[in-house]
Structure 1
Amino acid sequence: MQIQTDSPTYAIPSGDHVVTMRNRKRMDLTSVKTIDRFDQEEFIVRTSQGVLVIRGEELRIVHLDVDKGLLTLEGTIGTMQYDEEDSGSRNFLHKLFG
């Protein structure tokens, strides 16, 4: 990643997956492929680096650009964890039929 020193702008190479969190209240993600599931307590997001599970309180989408793969969330972020590719759907089904 190349950082410009004269401004707080970051040049992110195409395809890189970057997660930026501000005070556990706002999260920006790049290289987002799909959002498999979301509610106010959990987001399951497929990225170029695998499935990212984000848990917290009062989570909501602030910005989504599907073409560029950009996602911005706000709320109180408690945890984030990368899982294997299919575990997001298995966890969801496990919760339903458990």
Structure 2
Amino acid sequence: MQFQAENQTITIPSGDHLISLRNRKRMDLTSVKSIERFDQTEFYVRTSQGILHIKGEELKIVHLDVDKGLLTLEGIVRVMQYDEEQQADGARGLLHKLFG
């Protein structure tokens, strides 16, 4: 996979997860599997490395290509945090532990 960044092309090994954040206002992500939920203040993005929780202001999707696993967001990024898969799945994680 190739990733275009400010006058240069970066080749990323297939499946690698990469985050590029420019001036806390534009974020590019690779290895995106899905967007669980989002609004202008937070995004929950499922990546190859787990759920990425992004908080900020005026967040919006500029580009999304789920087939290639690419996502570009714009807005003011305040917080980025990875959550464990079980925590993000909530009840399913608990039920799986009890009956799984």
- Asked if Structure 1 and Structure 2 have the same fold, meaning a TM-score greater than 0.5 normalized by the shorter chain, the answer is yes
Runs of 4+ in structure 1 deviating by more than 2 angstroms, as ranges, are 86-90
User: 1:62, 1:87 → 2: CA distance?
Assistant: 28
Q: How far did residue 89 of structure 1 move? A: 4.2
Return closer, same or farther for 1:42/1:89 CA change in 2, 3 Å cut-off: farther
Count of aligned pairs between the two proteins: 84
Give the aligned residue type for 2:52: L
How far apart in 1 are the matches of 2:89 and 2:78? 21
Q: What is the root-mean-square deviation of aligned Cα atoms in Å? A: 1.0
- State the TM-score, normalized to the length of structure 1: 0.82
Q: Does 1:79 align with 2:79?
A: yes
State the AA in 1 paired with 2:10: Y
Residue 44 in structure 1 maps to residue 41 in structure 2:
no
Matching residue's letter, 1:64: L
Unaligned residue ranges in structure 2 (runs of 5+): 1-6, 91-100
- Relative to the length of structure 2, the TM-score reads 0.80
- Alpha-carbon displacement from aligned partner over 1:7-58 (angstroms, at most 9, x marks no partner): 6210001100000000000000000001000000000000000110000000
- 5+ residue gaps, structure 1, are 1-6, 91-98
1:87 Cα deviation (Å)? 2.3
Matches within 5 A, 1:8-87: 8-87=8-87
The equivalent of 1:94 in structure 2 is none
- The aligned residue for residue 96 of structure 1 is none
Q: Percent identity?
A: 70
